[in-house]
Amino acid sequence: MVDDRIDGHLDVLKDLYPHTGRGWIVGVTGNPGAGKSTLTDRLITLWRNEQKRVAVVAVDPTSPYSGGAILGDRIRMQRHFDDPGVFIRSVATRGALGGLSRSAVDIVRVLDAWGADVVIVETVGVGQDELEVTRMAHSTVVVAAPGMGDDVQAAKAGILECADVFGVNKADREGVDATVRDLELMIALGRKMIDSRGAQQRLADEHGAAAQPTTPCGGAGDEWVPPVVRCIATRNEGISQLAECLVAHRQWLTASRVGAARVQQRLGDQIRNQMRDALLDAATRDIGPLIDGAVASVASRQIDPYSACEQLVAAFRRPGR
Ligand SMILES: Nc1nc2c(ncn2[C@@H]2O[C@H](COP(=O)(O)OP(=O)(O)OP(=O)(O)O)[C@@H](O)[C@H]2O)c(=O)[nH]1
Ligand SMILES: [Mg+2]
């Protein structure tokens, strides 16, 4: 009902809302083929072993970027399909303005109400919609892989801002050191450098040299520096370290003032988005033909799009139109 926005779905969401707010929303984002689904599959296993209920929302798996990976996502996670403690849902609502993100936000709420301890949201890190979905997560891991030459690209797309943990996957491949270095350089440029060597050494002592985060899992006061964790999802290596960093991030969120501020901001964003959608729906319903007319006028250059927009807004606000 919620995904298809069938009549009555808002009532369902209203009824469910009091039951939400308990789940931990974890974003898994990154370029197509970086290994997000394989990694998610490993995280599901890890959290299921801790008796957590896990839900997965795979957003837009049919995008042209990932080339119909809906099947890929299912294959990578298929071992969990008949586990009643796991719920996996793909969302591919493209087309309608903002349709993708608003469906995804609502589906996450439904799964939160279902009692998911963790809701993992897998998105391909391209496009505004995906970034919007990522913003809804409490903790986000950005999955990078060596040799994709995409790190700078990712920074441009705003990925850096939403990364709480970097997972450098496919660490069995050549070029992993360069990818880690690039990311660390980006983090250092983007944030104040903190002296991390002490903590790094401690992690290396605890976990061995294999897959330790290259930066410490932890925030100092109001600052969180995203750790970079190497992993090999196909071999289940580095996954528990990655999960530890995510948990550390969650704890930091709870303890710091940033966490509360983020919750406020996220709610504000969601309400504003909902208002934008609702207003646009109402306008389309009330003055749909006028909008079509304005599009035609702009197309034939009789009017500029700015004035057209002003006139449409004025027409929509006119009482008793
Ligand atoms: N060598 C190597 N291959 C991996 C690793 N993790 C995943 N892969 C492979 O990379 C390919 C893509 O993995 P997926 O998990 O589907 O990647 P994804 O990011 O979910 O892809 P999309 O959903 O299509 O964007 C698959 O063939 C995986 O087996 C890894 O650690 N090392
Ligand atoms: Mg995938």
- Residue 100 CA to ligand 2 center (angstroms) comes to 16
Cα-based angle 40, 178, 239 (whole degrees, multiple of 5): 25
At 192, list the tokens: 């104040």
- Residue 69 CA to ligand 2 center (angstroms) comes to 6
Ligand 1: residues with CB < 6 A are: 32-38, 61, 66, 69, 72-73, 76, 124, 169-170, 172-173, 232-234
Task: Please tell me the number of the ligand nearest to residue 62's CA.
Answer: 1
- Residue 49 CA to ligand 2 center (angstroms) comes to 22
Ligand 1, atom 32: closest residue by C-alpha: 170
Ligand 1 atom at minimal distance to the Cα of residue 233: 31
Task: Please tell me the number of the ligand nearest to residue 63's CA.
Answer: 1
For residue 97, what pLDDT is reported?
A: 45
pLDDT in tens, the chain (321 residues): 888 788 999 999 999 999 999 999 999 988 888 899 999 999 999 999 999 999 999 886 554 444 444 555 666 777 787 889 999 888 775 544 445 667 788 899 999 999 999 999 988 766 666 677 777 889 999 998 987 665 555 555 566 677 899 999 999 999 899 889 888 888 887 764 444 444 444 444 544 444 445 555 667 677 888 999 999 999 999 999 999 999 999 999 988 888 888 888 888 888 898 898 889 989 999 999 999 999 999 999 999 999 999 999 999 998 766
Single-letter code of the amino acid located at 73: D
Strands 86-91 and 54-59, by their bridges, are parallel
Instruction: Tell me how far CA of residue 212 lies from CA of 168, 208, 217, 227, 259, in angstroms.
Output: 11, 7, 10, 10, 26
For residue 199, what pLDDT is reported?
A: 46
Q: Look at residue 110 and give its three-state secondary structure.
A: helix
The pick from 123, 150, 179, 234 for probing ligand 1's pocket by mutation, whose C-beta has the most ligand atoms within 8 angstroms, reads 234
- Residue 230 CA to ligand 1 center (angstroms) comes to 14
DSSP code for 304: -
- Residue 275 CA to ligand 1 center (angstroms) comes to 37
Q: DSSP strand E in 79-137: where?
A: 86-91, 118-124
For residue 75, what pLDDT is reported?
A: 66
- Residue 184 CA to ligand 1 center (angstroms) comes to 23
Q: Would you tell me how many other CB atoms lie within 10 Å of the CB of residue 222?
A: 11
Task: Please tell me the number of the ligand nearest to residue 30's CA.
Answer: 1
CA atoms within 13 A on the CB side of 113: 14
Ligand 1, atom 3: closest residue by C-alpha: 170
Over the range 104-136, which residues count as b (16 or more CB within 10 Å of their CB) and which as e?
bbbbbbbbbbeebbbbbbbbbbbbebbbbbbbb
The pick from 36, 37, 38 for probing ligand 1's pocket by mutation, whose C-beta has the most ligand atoms within 8 angstroms, reads 38
Task: Please tell me the number of the ligand nearest to residue 172's CA.
Answer: 1
| Ligand 2 ion local residues (Cβ < 5 A) | 36-37, 69, 73
Ligand 1 atom at minimal distance to the Cα of residue 41: 15
Ligand 1, atom 12: closest residue by C-alpha: 33
CA distance 280 to 268: 18
- Residue 35 CA to ligand 1 center (angstroms) comes to 3
- Length of the chain, please? 321
For residue 192, what pLDDT is reported?
A: 46
Ligand 1, atom 25: closest residue by C-alpha: 32
- Residue 152 CA to ligand 2 center (angstroms) comes to 21
